């Protein structure tokens, strides 16, 4: 019926106690006992058996369903649709069978069968979905959207659950106010098992599904951190990221299946599809790139690049290693290794290596090598303790204990060790041991396997040497054109520079012995022995000391611009007009100021002495020939002074000696007796 003041009441006892007088906003009651006790409330609508039966002075409430809003008394602004929907409270909205059926709190919204079923005094909650927020009683500011979302939570605050059974178990077994709070779950069964864990964010199907007590985890993507139970501070972004993590904490996985099989790993960072997917227990790793460290089980490693460190298979392999570059360290199982560059160290197997550059150490299987530069040490397999720095340095090396710095240094070296090459193309063709080359193209062409113990320092030093041992070349182009030879020493720019062969030569000074092609020569000083082409056993000491006579032997020139033109000769000093000299050299002995060619201050002693016995007959002017019985090798009597005396106290006078020929001398004397007489003689060479 319609009352006098515009209210509508349909049903037995509907608006039974209404006592309003004009003017007022009318009420509508449809159903037996609907708004039965309302006497002062207005703008209310109640449809259903006993709907708002206990309302007295509440205003603007709308309920639709049997017993809906049945305990609203003085509260206002409620909306309830469904059987027994909304018990009481103010500013609530309940849609669905038994939604908010026990509620006395305010500002709640419940939509769905049994949604927010047990809520009593909880306020400002939103529950959308069948049995969503089902057991919440006193919790505030929660959002549950989805079938049974936040189903078992009772009294927790500030929780968001969106999705079928999201945060289903949240709040079970809590003992403190800090447990089971500040969780956000979006996705079917997201954070399903969570009981006391707090501060978790899960977005995606079954994300963080198994987490029970874990806290401060963040998961975005289907299956992300699905099996996590007690792990804390994890971040998973991407489908199945950290899928099998159980107890690991502090991990960051970004990318589909990144850290997929990590179970107990701690403090790992994996970015990229399947990054570090099968690392079970490794900790403190950084893996960035597609399938990077895919099978890796390392700890404390940094691996960056597409498929980098892909096959690190065993526990703790790659410990404290750094691997950066596409396919870098692809099969590396080594610890304490640094690998940077595409394909660098791809097959590395042993600890303690450092590889920087594309394909650096790509095939390396042994340890303690350092390769820096694109393709440095690329083919090295078994060599150890090598250092290669520069593009293509040590490219073909298999040996150990080599050092190469510079582009293509030691490029073709394979089996020879203990070499040092510094400079582009230094020891480029080498395959022998114990050589040192410093400078661009130094010892570039050395090839003979027995060519050892050579040292070349300077640009193109010993450039053309193919075969030879124990040579030393220091200076730009020193020993440059020598192809064969051993035990030579060349120090100075272009020293022995154009010589092509010869052994045991020593050249010290720019251009010294530059053209020598024989053995056992010594040149010290700029241009010393410059034109000595085929001489041997010669010595040139002094700047421009030289010889213009070829094929000399045992010739020595000492002094600035000294020149020797004969074998077995020694020249001291320059001679004016020869070899560019403008003055002649005086030689002083015992004086610092020689005034002539040879100035001797003191005695000269050059002699040969002996004695002989001759038989004489008394008389005058006796002549005895060849008193001197013999001379030492190399001596003759030319340019000599001979002193002859009579020994043994014999009376006699020598009054004349005469040279008959270079080997014969006549002695004339006056004797007064006959018999054997001893003659003493001394020969002075003048």
Spell out the domain ranges in the chain.
1-91, 505-603, 607-685
Whole-number Cα distances in Å, 36 to 13, 77, 249, 255 = 6, 18, 60, 62
Q: What is the pLDDT of residue 634?
A: 63
Question: DSSP secondary-structure letter at 584?
Answer: P
Say yes or no to pLDDT of 656 above 70. Answer: no
pLDDT at 124 over 80: yes
Residues contacting 546, CB < 8 A, separation 6+: 527, 528, 529, 530, 531, 532, 540, 557, 561, 562, 563, 579
Residues in the chain: 686
pLDDT for residue 617 is more than 80: no
Model confidence at 479, pLDDT cuts 50, 70, 90, reads very high
Q: Provide the β-strand partners of residue 671.
A: 619, 652
The mean pLDDT of 302-323, rounded to a whole number, is 78
Range with the poorest average pLDDT among 355-369, 534-548, 561-575, 669-683: 669-683
Show the tokens assigned to 66.
Answer: 């049997």
Q: For 229-253, how does the pLDDT look when each residue is reduced to its tens digit (9 = 90+)? A: 999 999 999 999 999 999 999 999 9
How many Å is the Cα radius of gyration of the chain? 56
What three-state secondary structure class fits 465?
coil
Whole-number Å distance between alpha carbons of 136 and 149 = 11
Q: pTM higher than 0.75 for the full model?
A: no
Beta-carbon contacts of 479 under 8 Å, excluding residues fewer than 6 positions away, are: 456, 461, 462, 465, 471, 473, 488, 490, 495, 496, 497, 499
Q: pLDDT tens digits, residue range 406-438?
A: 999 999 999 999 999 999 999 999 999 999 999
Whole-number mean pLDDT of the chain?
89
Report the percentage of the chain scoring pLDDT > 70.
86
114 Cβ contact partners less than 8 Å away, ≥ 6 residues apart: 96, 97, 98, 99, 101, 130, 131, 134
Q: Are residues 324 and 310 in contact, defined by beta-carbon separation less than 8 angstroms? A: no
- Model pLDDT, residue 606: 60
Give CA–CA dist 490/99, Å, rounded: 103
Residue 143 reports pLDDT greater than 90: yes
Q: What is the mean pLDDT of residues 372-390?
A: 94
- Of 530, 562, 540, 536, nearest to 551 by C-alpha is 536
pLDDT category, 655, cuts 50, 70, 90? low
Which of 73-77, 94-98, 166-170 shows the lowest per-residue confidence on average (mean pLDDT)? Answer: 166-170
- How many CA atoms within 13 Å lie on the side-chain side of 97? 3
Chain segment 18-42, per-residue pLDDT in tens: 876 555 678 999 999 999 999 889 9
Q: Is the confidence at residue 112, as pLDDT, over 60?
A: yes
Question: Where does the pLDDT of residue 599 fall: very low under 50, low under 70, confident under 90, or very high at 90 and above?
Answer: confident
């Amino acid at each position: 019926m319609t009352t006098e003041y515009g209210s509508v009441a349909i049903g037995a006892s509907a608006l039974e106690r209404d006592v309003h007088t004009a003017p007022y906003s009318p009420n509508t009651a449809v159903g037996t006992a609907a708004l039965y006790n309302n006497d002062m409330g207005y703008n209310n609508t109640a449809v259903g058996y006993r709907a708002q039966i206990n309302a007295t002075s509440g205003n603007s409430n709308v309920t639709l369903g049997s017993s809906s809003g049945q305990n609203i008394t003085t509260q206002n602004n409620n909306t309830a649709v469904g059987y027994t929907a909304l018990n009481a409270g103010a500013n609530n909205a309940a849609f669905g069978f038994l939604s908010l059926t026990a509620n006395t709190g305010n500002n709640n919204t419940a939509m769905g069968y049994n949604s927010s079923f047990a809520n009593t005094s909880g306020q400002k909650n939103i529950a959308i979905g069948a049995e969503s927020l089902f057991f919440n009683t006193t919790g505030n500011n929660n959002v549950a959207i989805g079938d049974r979302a936040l189903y078992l939570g009772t009294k927790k605050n500030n929780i968001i659950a969106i999705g079928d059974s999201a945060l289903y178990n949240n709040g079970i077994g809590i003992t403190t106010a800090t447990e089971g709070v500040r969780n956000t779950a979006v996705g079917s069964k997201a954070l399903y098992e969570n009981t006391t864990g707090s501060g978790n964010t899960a977005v995606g199907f079954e994300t963080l599904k198994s987490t029970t007590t874990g806290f401060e985890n963040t998961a975005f993507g289907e299956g992300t951190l699905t099996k996590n139970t007690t792990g804390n501070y994890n971040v998973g972004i991407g489908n199945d990221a950290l899928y099998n993590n159980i107890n690991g904490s502090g991990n960051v996985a970004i990318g589909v299946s990144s850290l997929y099989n990590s179970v107990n790993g701690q403090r790992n960072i994996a970015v990229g599809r399947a990054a570090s997917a099968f690392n079970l227990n490794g900790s403190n790793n950084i893996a960035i790139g597609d399938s990077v460290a895919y099978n890796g089980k390392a700890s404390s490693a940094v691996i960056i690049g597409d498929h980098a460190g892909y096959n690190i298979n065993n526990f703790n392999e790659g410990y404290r290693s750094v691997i950066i570059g596409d396919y870098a360290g692809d099969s590396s199982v080594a610890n304490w290794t640094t690998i940077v560059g595409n394909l660098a160290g791809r097959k590395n197997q042993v600890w303690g290596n450092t590889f920087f550059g594309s394909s650096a150490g790509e095939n390396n299987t042994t340890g303690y090598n350092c390769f820096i530069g694109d393709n440095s040490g690329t083919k090295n397999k078994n060599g150890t303790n090598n250092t290669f720095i520069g593009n293509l340095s040590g490219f073909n090396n298999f040996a150990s204990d080599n050092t190469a710095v510079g582009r293509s240094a030691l490029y073709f070296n394979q089996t020879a060790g203990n070499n040092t090459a510094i400079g582009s193309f230094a020891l480029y063709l080498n395959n022998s041991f114990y050589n040192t080359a410093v400078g661009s193209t130094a010892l570039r062409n050395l090839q003979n396997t027995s060519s050892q113990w050579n040292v070349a320092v300077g640009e193109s030093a010993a450039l053309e040497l193919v075969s030879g041992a124990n040579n030393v070349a220091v200076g730009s182009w020193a020993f440059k054109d020598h192809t064969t030879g051993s035990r030579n020493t060349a120090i100075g720019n272009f020293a022995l520079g154009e010589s092509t062969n010869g052994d045991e030569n020593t050249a010290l000074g720019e251009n010294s012995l530059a053209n020598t092609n024989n053995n056992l020569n010594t040149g010290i000083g700029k241009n010393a022995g410059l034109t000595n082409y085929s001489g041997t056993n010669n010595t040139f000491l002094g700047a421009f000391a030289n010889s213009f006579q070829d094929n000399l032997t045992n010739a020595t020139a000492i002094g600035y611009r000294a020149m020797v033109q004969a074998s077995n000769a020694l020249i001291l000093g320059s001679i004016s007009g020869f070899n560019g000299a403008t003055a002649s050299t005086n030689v002083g002995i015992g004086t610092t100021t020689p005034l002539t060619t040879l100035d001797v201050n003191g005695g000269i002693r050059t002699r040969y002495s002996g004695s002989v016995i001759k038989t004489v007959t008394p008389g005058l002017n006796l002549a005895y020939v060849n008193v001197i019985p013999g001379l030492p090798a190399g001596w003759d009597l030319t340019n000599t002074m001979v002193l002859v005396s009579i020994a043994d106290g014999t009376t006699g006078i020598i009054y004349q000696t005469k040279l008959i020929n270079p080997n014969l001398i006549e002695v004339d004397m006056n004797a007064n007796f006959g018999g054997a007489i001893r003659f003493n003689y001394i020969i002075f060479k003048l």
